[in-house]
Amino acid sequence: MSKNPKIEQLRKVPLFAHCSRRELAGLAALVDELELPEGQTVAREGERGREFLVLADGIADVESGGEIVNTLGPGDFFGEISLVTGEPRTATVTTRSASKLFIFSAPAFRSLLHDAPGIKTRVLAAAALRLAA
């Protein structure tokens, strides 16, 4: 039996590492993949969030108020604050290198939180910490 490459890629992301093969197959059905060059803006501060994004490969800078406040690497995720709160995005994220992202639409994100309680806990905890900062 050949392995599904998307499932294998999702398994490498720390957020999904503890998911069963069945859960990973469900995630693979929900997610879109996007490859971007260096310098591509992925999310813009102040805009309405429409997706949850997981950086599968590459590096991206997080900018808020015109200053770089964080650097993301493989396994990091963003976009959850806007989807959870309904408020505009709190930061701009721009790729610093060629990058691969997993993208969950808003409905797919809601399904992810509903169907995977372990992921839901980690995502909401991260959102709370980011909002507190």
Q: Which CATH class is domain 5-132?
A: mainly beta
Averaged over successive runs of 10 residues, the pLDDT of the chain (133 residues) comes to 76 82 86 96 94 94 95 91 88 97 90 80 80 75
Query: Three-state secondary structure along the chain?
Result: CCCCHHHHHHHCCHHHCCCCHHHHHHHHHHCEEEEECCCCEEECCCCECCEEEEEEECCEEEEECCEEEEEECCCCEECHHHHHHCCECCCEEEECCCEEEEEEEHHHHHHHHHHCHHHHHHHHHHHHHHHHC
Per-residue model confidence (pLDDT) at position 1: 45
Per-residue model confidence (pLDDT) at position 93: 98
- Give the domain ranges of the chain: 5-132
